[in-house]
Amino acid sequence: MPYWYDGQLWKTDTINLPINDPGLLYGATVFTTLRVYQRSLKHPLTQWDAHCHRLETTLKQFDWPLPHWEKVYQGAQHLVSIYPVLRVTIFPNGREWITGRFLPENLALYRQKGSRGWLGEHPLFQRTLSPYKTGNYLGAWLARQQGINLGFQETILVNEKGNWLETTTGNLWGWKAGKWYTPKLDLGILPGIGRSQLIAWLTTQNMAVEENIWTTSWAKSLNIIAYSNSVVEVVPFKLIDLNGERLTFDVTHEALQELYDYFERLC
């Protein structure tokens, strides 16, 4: 499994880190995950510049040094011929670490048939520094693993008030009465790059979209619930388990095409 680390391509499945490295001890890293379309970092759907901007903005917020961007780009270029998905990680001293992976094996099936979701209301299921993508993803990881153990593909995170936030891997979308909805950023969710692009797309197409607060009672009124991220694009839920009560959705609803069109027009 080749990967890029600190200016060099490695062809092993291990990485050497000092035992006192803050990335190892505390999850002190920032990262972004992107899907590379047609093996090109310049493809408009790859959104390379947006992902680098996300990293740079977080690094400046944390007062960490910026990486050598030419090394980051060089490393990504080495891996795009092998992997369609890249994770770019930056350590507190500016070292870059880029790994690759393949698309989820059942992605096409989940998009066609829908995913099974679960509402994770346990207080452990929280992301720290939620507006940022940091290496400390333990709360979301615990939520996802618990959902998988229960037979669900995704878990939906909530805040202390019970408001729906996001899934463990993406942003939420809902539709009813001709309008799309997505939870507000100030609730403490990640400003996903795919989310931003979809909002811009719907707006330019004169389709109604609103950022709002999702309660469980309000979510029950939606005809469609889906999630998005830079890797899977958009995946609809066919079922969401509310810890006993189950919501079901029509994954063939024609309104979903309004989201799919953003990706399909450029592929």
Tell me what pLDDT residue 10 has.
Answer: 97
Give yes or no: residues 124 and 249 share one domain. Answer: yes
Of 57, 81, 101, which residue constitutes the final position of a domain? 101
127 band by pLDDT with thresholds 50, 70 and 90: confident
Token pair of 116 as six digits: 């099974």
Tell me what pLDDT residue 266 has.
Answer: 82
First-residue to last-residue Cα distance in the chain: 27
Give yes or no: residues 150 and 223 share one domain. Answer: yes
Give yes or no: residues 240 and 115 share one domain. Answer: yes
Tell me what pLDDT residue 52 has.
Answer: 98
Give yes or no: residues 112 and 87 share one domain. Answer: no
Task: In whole angstroms, give the CA distance from residue 215 to residue 244.
Answer: 17
Domain that holds residue 55: 3-101
Domain total for the chain?
Answer: 2
Give yes or no: residues 144 and 244 share one domain. Answer: yes
Give yes or no: residues 122 and 96 share one domain. Answer: no
Token pair of 190 as six digits: 């990640």
Which positions ≥6 away from 117 have C-beta within 8 Å?
147, 152, 153, 154, 155, 156, 167, 225, 227, 237, 239, 240, 241
Asked whether the predicted pLDDT for residue 229 surpasses 90, the reply is yes
Give yes or no: residues 135 and 210 share one domain. Answer: yes
Give yes or no: residues 177 and 114 share one domain. Answer: yes
Give yes or no: residues 60 and 128 share one domain. Answer: no
Q: Side chain identity at 17, as an amino acid letter?
A: L
Give yes or no: residues 154 and 88 share one domain. Answer: no
Task: Please answer whether residues 165 and 187 qualify as being in contact, where contact means their C-beta atoms are separated by less than 8 angstroms.
Answer: yes
The CATH number of the domain holding residue 37 is 3.30.470.10
Give yes or no: residues 50 and 139 share one domain. Answer: no
In tens, the pLDDT along 130-173 reads 999 999 999 999 999 999 999 999 999 999 999 999 999 999 99
Give yes or no: residues 150 and 200 share one domain. Answer: yes
1 band by pLDDT with thresholds 50, 70 and 90: confident
Asked whether the predicted pLDDT for residue 267 surpasses 80, the reply is no
174, β-bridge pairs:
181, 225
Max Cα distance, the chain (Å): 55
Task: Please answer whether residues 36 and 80 qualify as being in contact, where contact means their C-beta atoms are separated by less than 8 angstroms.
Answer: yes
173, β-bridge pairs:
226
The CATH number of the domain holding residue 255 is 3.20.10.10
Mean pLDDT of the chain: 96
Of 72, 101, 130, which residue constitutes the final position of a domain? 101
* Cβ neighbours, 10 Å, residue 142: 17
Token pair of 183 as six digits: 């939870």
Task: Please answer whether residues 150 and 134 qualify as being in contact, where contact means their C-beta atoms are separated by less than 8 angstroms.
Answer: no
116 band by pLDDT with thresholds 50, 70 and 90: very high
Of 75, 101, 127, which residue constitutes the final position of a domain? 101
117, β-bridge pairs:
154, 240
Enter the DSSP assignment of 163: -
In tens, the pLDDT along 70-97 reads 999 999 999 999 999 999 999 999 999 9
54 band by pLDDT with thresholds 50, 70 and 90: very high
In tens, the pLDDT along 2-42 reads 999 999 999 999 999 999 999 999 999 999 999 999 999 99
